[in-house]
Structure 1
Amino acid sequence: MFENDAEIIAKVRRRELHILPRLMMEDSTIERAISPGTGRPFHFKDHPVRKIAVKFCYSGWEYNGLAYQIDPTPLPTVEEVLFRAFAKTRLVDAEAGLDGCGWERCGRTDVDTDSDLPSFDLDDDPPSNSSVPPPRTQELHYVSILNRILPPTIRVLAWSPVSPDFSARHNCQHRHYKYFFTARDLDITLMQRAATTLVGEHDVRNLSKLDPTKQLTQFRRRIIQADIALVSSQQQQGKDDDDAVYVLDLVGSAFLYHQVRHIMAVLFLVGAGLEHPSIVPTLMNVDGSERPLSQSDPPLPIVDRKPDYQMADALPLMLWECAFADSDVRWQTGEDHTGSGDGPDVRVKGDLYHQLHAVHQRSLVHTTLEAHFLAATARYHPPPPQYFPFSKTGLTMSTIPLLANNEPPVLGVPLGGGTYRRGVKYIPILLRKRLDHVEVANARWRTGKGSRRVERVDAAKNGTINDE
């Protein structure tokens, strides 16, 4: 990196956080902060604040990702909707923006919020300000307050008081992702063999999407667990085992951009029989440090630039857990009852469980209806021949039979979530076009989009926002 690259990137990020409230509130419905029931202006400086962490779940297909984006997006982001809920309920100062309220995310979110518990000791006299409400001994019911404002696709499950220096990102001990898929066209045994090679610390630049805006130069990440397990099977109902649902449990200390979706794309190719399980350690063999699957196998080729391949579908991907030390968080749900760890607290009032149970029931009905539609379609349109996985069909790319007109069939390579990449031939990953080297891509961004991004943020700033 050039001498001042890090400073430029940090400056851009600070400015984005400062101008966020103005960009978000131009078309928002957030009202001017008025104290409920009094009609008087609500001044955040007159109220105690505390830092909390929030645990939430969301339906990702309703949004344009989790993180707030400074550029317009087709759908709102989860972080944008969450911030608006915090602002509308006056738990944070909308005008201060994310940076002003200490907002930080790691699947969970921590933020400095308005509080019913004063920041001063309860035995002390309150500040000499007549507008400050009398101190209370009960905390705000953050879960119920936010869920009344948030759409049904985002649910706050619990909150925890945290120390002022707590960081949702840096205090996270590990992250746990889940990716769900069906067994159709796949050899699960081959996929598990390939997934096992992920465990340990590896350079995963070829198993992720390069994000030049972050100017990363270090791509080694540690995977703690990489297991594929059966979630449900239709065998007991006499149905095709292709409908069996599996899940990849991937646990690591940190992940690169779209790393899980790239890993799943390669595992799908292995499961279909289009790639050998050794493709995974080969793609991680950036500097020659990776070893083949067995001692009898030849040395792995060095792959210092990412081959061009399509990542897996986003629908079945879930960030399941962000793990923190027990000394950092103490999850609770409200009503002055503290849950034990992540376990349930049956004493807590509310219908959050019933809301999500109803969603689950409706999903089961939708699944059953779609199965009936598929069965009805099969009466008039027989299922096409199944070519994958090669380990079960006994085929190879060179032995796939031609159609009646001597044309090759259109093959559907699974990408997860019921999506496929269709084509009449398959090019092995190692024979595909290689993308630019990391250093080249980073330098191009610095001199191109990076410099224009600084100009765009400066224009949005319009001379009214202090960098400090």
Structure 2
Amino acid sequence: MRIALGLEYDGSRFCGWQSQAEGCSVQDALERALGEVAGHPVRVAAAGRTDAGVHALMQVVHFDTNVTRPETAWVRGTNAHLPSSVAVLWARPVAEDFHARFSARERSYRYLLLNHPVRPAAAHGRVGWFHQPLDVARMQAAARYLVGEHDFSAFRSSECQARTPVRTLSRLEVRRVGALVVFDLWANAFLHHMVRNIVGCLVYVGKGKHPPEWLQEVLQGRDRARGAPTFPAAGLYFSGVRYEPRWGLPEGRGRELPFDAELGAVMDSAFR
């Protein structure tokens, strides 16, 4: 039997998604907890890998098991064995040909950036930070150059193992919510550090270092050295996965609050 799970986690407590020899990853914690419920070792495959410090609002994984458990056991039972920084949100049986990674049609990320002269403390690890005023309209104009199918070599890390740098970025939205600048990105897949490198370049445009057209020059140059430095992981969230309806999975977006208007309003009032 193949089971799909949706989960969220606070990435600041882990060394990333992928299993490590030290057992410090989200995958390690989840597999240990699932093994307790299943009564046998469990290996999971995820829709997307996240780096150390990157969070998830809706990660999707699948695993195989030879035991029968109610869906509530895979949720509440697994959560009972997980640290408080990880939670299974739902569980569904799926067909044997479903794969959390290869069946995904679209993935989304969200980056939350506190735009204020003073660094965050209560929200440390949950938001990025930039101290100079940012012009969101300029950033929105620059973002349009990246939408569509492109070679994103200028936005991939040197450690990226993807076979091709070509990706289709279907949407890239930038908006201000209180004291936050919120970036939402949707693509068929993402390269290593792609979102954080895009955010870094948009911040360069927003602070006036370059005009919006500069982002097109960076994209077409296909040279990582021409872009801005990689932005910190703290404000980055793997926010959802879209699958075809035939798999019968819940809507692929994660829970919005307090990662949108509510957090923005709180941060806005706190920094006035």
* TM beyond 0.5: yes
1:219 pairs with 2:176: no
Which structure has the larger Rg?
A: 1
Aligned residue in 2 for 1:261: 196
The change in CA–CA distance for 1:258 and 1:167 in structure 2 (over 3 A counts) is same
Q: Does structure 2 retain, via aligned residues, the 8 Å contact 1:115–1:140? A: no
Encode CA deviations 1:357-413: one digit per residue, 9 max, x unaligned.
9x99xx97xx78x94xx89xxxxxxxxxxxxxxxxxxxxxxxxxxxxxxxxxxxxxx
1:282: how far off? 1.3
Higher relative contact order (CA 8 A, sep 6+): 2
TM-score (structure 1 length as normaliser)? 0.47
Q: Which amino acid aligns with 2:98?
A: F
Residue 143 of structure 1 corresponds to which residue in structure 2?
75
Instruction: Give the superposition deviation at 1:342.
Output: 6.7
- Spell out the pairing of 1:13-412 with structure 2 (5 A cutoff): 50-70=1-21, 72=22, 76-89=24-37, 91=38, 93-94=40-41, 98=43, 103-106=44-47, 107-116=59-68, 141-184=73-116, 185-211=133-159, 214=161, 216-231=162-177, 233=178, 244-285=179-220, 303-307=221-225, 309-331=228-250, 341=251, 371=270
Write the distance in 1 (CA, Å) between the matches of 2:239 and 2:72.
27
Q: 1:276 to 1:69 in 2, by over 3 A?
A: farther
What's the TM-score once normalised by structure 2's chain length? 0.78
Runs of 4+ in 1 over 4 A off after TM superposition: none
CA distance, structure 1, for counterparts of residue 169 and residue 252 of structure 2: 23
Inter-partner Cα distance in structure 2 for 1:193 and 1:165: 41
RMSD: 2.9
Note the alpha carbon deviations across 1:144-174, whole angstroms, 9 max, x for none: 1111111111111111111111111111010
Return the letter of the residue paired with 1:191.
M
For residues 16-35 of structure 1, the C-alpha deviation after alignment (integer angstroms, 9 at most, x for no partner) is xxxxxxxxxxxxxxxxxxxx
Matched-pair contact (CA < 8 Å) for 1:115–1:139: no
Superimposed CA distance per residue, residues 2-44 of structure 1 (whole angstroms, 9 cap, x where no aligned partner)? xxxxxxxxxxxxxxxxxxxxxxxxxxxxxxxxxxxxxxxxxxx
| Residue aligning to 1:404 | none
SS of 1:307 mapped into structure 2 = helix
- Cα distance in 2 for partners of 1:315, 1:85 equals 26
Contact 1:92/1:113 (CA < 8 Å) preserved in 2? no
Contiguous gaps of at least 5 residues in structure 2: 48-58, 117-132
Distance 1:321 1:92 in 2: 30
Quick one: which amino acid aligns to residue 236 of structure 2?
A: L
Distance in 2 (CA, whole Å) between partners of 1:104 and 1:312 is 27
2:237 is paired with a residue of what secondary structure? strand
Gaps of 5+ in 1: 1-49, 118-137, 234-243, 286-302, 332-340, 344-352, 376-468
2:208 maps to amino acid: G
Contact kept in structure 1, 2:108 and 2:241, CA below 8 Å: yes
The structure with the greater share of residues assigned to strand is 2
